[in-house]
Structure 1
Amino acid sequence: MTSSSLTRNAPSASASRGSRSSQNLPFFGVLAVGIAGFAALSSLHKKQDTTPAQKAAPLVECSAAVLSDDHLTLEADGEVIPSRQIRLAAQVAGRIVEKNEVCQAGHFVTEGTKLLTIDPRDYDLEVRRIQEMLKQTEVSIEEVDVERRNTEQLLKLAETDLDLQRRELARYEQLRERQAVSQSALDNSQRARIQAENTMQTLSNQIRLLDTRRGRHISEKDRLAVELERAVLDRKRCDIVAPIDGIITSDLVEQDDFVQLGNLLLHMEDTSQVEVRFDLRFDQLRWIWESAASRRTTSTSTAQPISVSRGASYELPQLPIEVAIEVDGSRFVWDATLSRYDGAQLNTATRTVPCIAIVDKPNQGRWHGVLDQGVNASDNITSSGLSGPPALLRGSFVTVHIEVPANQPLVQVPVTALRPGNKIWIVRDNKLDWLDVKVAQAHADHVDLFANYSRVHAGDQVVTSPLVMAVKGMEVRTTSTASDEAAANDDVAGETDRVERHADSLPDSTKPREIER
């Protein structure tokens, strides 16, 4: 190629480069705008934290300790038992000629209701026989009385005759001194006086004999009167009547059965009052003993020494208590009285003390609480129309509630907060603290602690959730702190969503686009 041709081509080459450069100017402008938009979007997003994440403190559930009231409620499970069980037996022998329809197991009978009748004919005859013998004895006594009156009349005549014989003998003696009568006449007079004395003595002896005979007849009459009373009593015993108001638990005989003296006829239970047998632990009895001791202290002057009898050491204070039973989720309560120990010994199996409470009105239970229908706590079961037990029945399982005054301040914590060995975890300044506590009373859902001994105060955050590998002073998060952190995270997430929505709303010209090559 010649130099002239090169010279001609040089301007054309430079012109083509200039035209190509002018064509690339829009491309670089778009690229610059895209880079600027990308930088703007990047500045809107939160800069990612490249520092390694620290492990969060364990999360625990806490509950605030609350101050308990000044009374402590002791609870125990018990069983209703009858206060009296009566076994009626035949007191006379004979055939049962009548059985009342109510004389069957399960029936309630009132006092004096005739239940059974034993054939009374033999006993009626015995009563009549003794009555006739008693009449004969009375006639014999009358005969003796008549004979005694007759003898007394004869005795008066004998006394008169004796006086005459004595005066006549005195005259004969005077005449004999003057030799006016013979000795034979004097002897006859003495003989007549002796006969008169003999007659009088005989009549006196006869009167005494009649008195003795009358006494024997009177004794016989008294004996027959006793036999008549016994016969009448046996006749009454032919009618078996209910001795109390109660329920027949079992009837052992039927009509036309022959029973001997002492044969069991039926069993009855007294329903006027029932007893509740329950066991108390020694820690529960301690509150009752302290309550009784405090009452004795307040009722006795401080200047006088307090003396307790030996019998009082084996007796329980007569405290008012409540007996509750649950029926289909409903709770019914009866008033009762703490009565006595059930024997002077411990239950060897459970190491508890058996006790007895008396329910004086087992048929007057009441609803405990307020129903949605508007039934108040004082409403009676019958008057309120509730479908509850009309009375405490034998064998019912009940819960006994004994309210005693607490002589020390108590705090209440959930039962899940109590750890083995009577220890609890509390959170102070987001750190765990380990405390030894002394339990005053344990319930199904909470525990009462002695506040002074346990160093637990009302408002302390007590850990109720399980802890694994926990040590004293370890930093923890409570459910309230975790809730605050979760709320903060929700706020951050909401801000991020707002930024992303703002970025989506930018014009397309500011968004980065793919470069076409």
Structure 2
Amino acid sequence: MKKGALFKTVRVLVVLLVSVAVAFLLVQLRPRAEKQERVSNGRLVEVVATRSESLPMVVEAYGTVAPREALKIVAQVRGEVVALHPDFIEGGFVRSGEVLVTIDPQDYELAVRRATVGIRQAQADLERLDQDVLNLNESLELAKADVKLALAEVKRLKKLAGKGMTAQSVLDKADRQYLTSRERLQTLENQLALIGPNRIRLQSQLEMARVAWEQAKLDLERCRIETPYEAWVTQKSVETGRYLSMGQPVGSIYRAGAFDIEIKIPVGDLTWFPDETASKNGLKAEVRFSETEPHRTWNGKVARIKAALDQTTRTLPVVVQVDEPIGSSSMTNSAGRMKPGMFVTVRIQGRQVDHVHRLQRHLVHDDDTVYLAVDNRLEIRPVTVLRRFKTEVLISEGLADGDKVVTTPISDAVSGMKMRLKTED
């Protein structure tokens, strides 16, 4: 038993020794790899080629839509409301010239009739005065003739009295007759002299009667409250049967399809408007309302630039007008038409600038530099930024067409470092 165990042990040791020897020979005889120096071709980056463009300078701002013309309707006469337009309700649309409210006209119709009678009376008084003038002139001619005859009679009797051919009593009677004729003539002349003031008084009365008629007619017309233009109703505060006092509000409307939007822009943005002052009015603008899906857009124009800066924000107010044609689809579509109170974005098309390069904002670094790949090396080039937007930057100087801008983020950028372009990898 001992010899058998010893034999097994020896056999195991021999196998182990042979295995170790074979392994050693394999290691010693294996082919050896040649050492090669590591060659660095640079960091792998992506690039985009630049291309200049001619771009209109868009000025973007925000504002609230307001009606260009809004009207608060009030009663101009007293009376009971007897009729209302069926569309005179909040949100209703009314045409120009339609009657919104009718006030009981009976009292005002009577006032017109009274004023008409007053005019006729004043005209009759003037006509009677004209006839009086004719009568006075005829009486005046007769009175003058009578005075002339009486005077001649007095002179004749005086000659006879001087010759003792007539009594003194006859002469005295002739003198009295002459004085009576003179007095009557004087009375007629005085009456004729008063014709002018009387005519002025009667003409004034006629004019006052006409004024009263016009006022009565105006009050009668004011019993019908009409719309001055196509309008949307924003408020109604009256019902049929209600008694209205003069000046009492009955509702509010605004002109349909005519809106103003006041936006405030930095003074520096005026640089992008045309140089000619007159051409600033009429600049095209796009108005966008983003709170609906799909977004709504309208075409507008710059109406005016206000003369003074806003004292709080130090910005310049600009008024943009939007006009929607009456009867257009946007007018009839309640969801699509513009409404007062909308908060909108306004983009004004300014002057065009040539040779501008447009880059994503993250490609222009804080010190206004751009990373370029030039001959597979990094160049950190300063550029002149024309404008900055939320997602992009416009560059006016520093880039040429075909320059390769590195779009891959590089945290440890060093000018001259090697790079490999992904398109060449």
TM-score of the pair, normalised by structure 2: 0.81
Structure-2 separation of matches of 1:422 and 1:439: 7
Give the conservation status (yes or no) of the 8 Å contact 2:108–2:220. yes
Matched with 1:92 is: 77
Give the conservation status (yes or no) of the 8 Å contact 1:115–1:241. yes
Matched with 2:372 is: 426
Structure-2 separation of matches of 1:395 and 1:73: 24
Structure-1 separation of matches of 2:50 and 2:327: 38
User: Are 1:437 and 2:383 counterparts?
Assistant: yes
Give the conservation status (yes or no) of the 8 Å contact 2:266–2:316. yes
Q: Given the superposition, is the C-alpha separation of residues 131 and 326 from structure 1 closer, same or farther in structure 2, using an over 3 Å criterion?
A: closer
Matched with 1:345 is: 309
Q: CA deviation at 1:220?
A: 1.2
Give the conservation status (yes or no) of the 8 Å contact 1:347–1:354. no
Partner-residue secondary structure (3-state), 2:337: coil
Q: CA deviation at 1:67?
A: 0.5
Q: CA deviation at 1:216?
A: 1.7
Matched with 2:318 is: 355
Deviations 1:68-104 (A, max 9, x none): 1154333333433211111111111222221111101
Structure-to-structure mapping, 1:256-267, within 5 angstroms: 256-267=241-252
Partner-residue secondary structure (3-state), 2:54: coil
2:203 to 210, 213, 218: 218
User: Are 1:199 and 2:184 counterparts?
Assistant: yes
Structure-2 separation of matches of 1:138 and 1:431: 107
Matched with 2:406 is: 463
Structure-2 separation of matches of 1:159 and 1:141: 27
Structure-2 separation of matches of 1:156 and 1:49: 156
Partner-residue secondary structure (3-state), 1:409: strand
Q: CA deviation at 1:66?
A: 1.7
Output the aligned Cα RMSD: 3.2
Matched with 1:241 is: 226
Q: Which residue type is aligned with residue 458 of structure 1? A: D
Deviations 1:399-443 (A, max 9, x none): 433333345632222222122243332222233333333322334
Partner-residue secondary structure (3-state), 2:160: helix
Structure-2 separation of matches of 1:422 and 1:148: 100
User: Are 1:82 and 2:45 counterparts?
Assistant: no
Deviations 1:90-125 (A, max 9, x none): 111222221111101111111111111122222222
Greater shift, 354-363 or 325-334, is seen at 325-334
Structure-to-structure mapping, 1:60-459, within 5 angstroms: 60-69=45-54, 71-288=56-273, 291-293=274-276, 317-325=280-288, 333-342=297-306, 344-346=308-310, 348-349=312-313, 351-361=314-324, 390-406=336-352, 409-451=355-397, 455-459=398-402
Structure-2 separation of matches of 1:429 and 1:363: 63
Partner-residue secondary structure (3-state), 1:198: helix
Q: Given the superposition, is the C-alpha separation of residues 67 and 286 from structure 1 closer, same or farther in structure 2, using an over 3 Å criterion?
A: same
Structure-1 separation of matches of 2:337 and 2:175: 98
Partner-residue secondary structure (3-state), 1:400: strand
Greater shift, 104-113 or 145-154, is seen at 145-154
Q: CA deviation at 1:127?
A: 2.1
Higher helix share: 1
Q: Given the superposition, is the C-alpha separation of residues 283 and 63 from structure 1 closer, same or farther in structure 2, using an over 3 Å criterion?
A: farther
Q: CA deviation at 1:183?
A: 4.5
- The gaps in structure 2 that reach 5 residues or longer are 1-25
Q: CA deviation at 1:199?
A: 0.3
- The gaps in structure 1 that reach 5 residues or longer are 1-34, 294-311, 366-380, 485-517
Higher strand share: 2
Identity of aligned residues (%): 26
Give the conservation status (yes or no) of the 8 Å contact 1:334–1:364. no
Structure-1 separation of matches of 2:146 and 2:367: 116
Which structure ranks higher in relative contact order (CA pairs < 8 Å, sequence separation ≥ 6)? 2
Q: CA deviation at 1:179?
A: 4.3
Give the conservation status (yes or no) of the 8 Å contact 1:148–1:210. yes
TM-score of the pair, normalised by structure 1: 0.68
Partner-residue secondary structure (3-state), 1:68: strand
User: Are 1:472 and 2:418 counterparts?
Assistant: no
Instruction: Give the aligned length.
Output: 395
Give the conservation status (yes or no) of the 8 Å contact 2:238–2:250. yes
Q: CA deviation at 1:356?
A: 0.8
Q: Given the superposition, is the C-alpha separation of residues 428 and 207 from structure 1 closer, same or farther in structure 2, using an over 3 Å criterion?
A: same
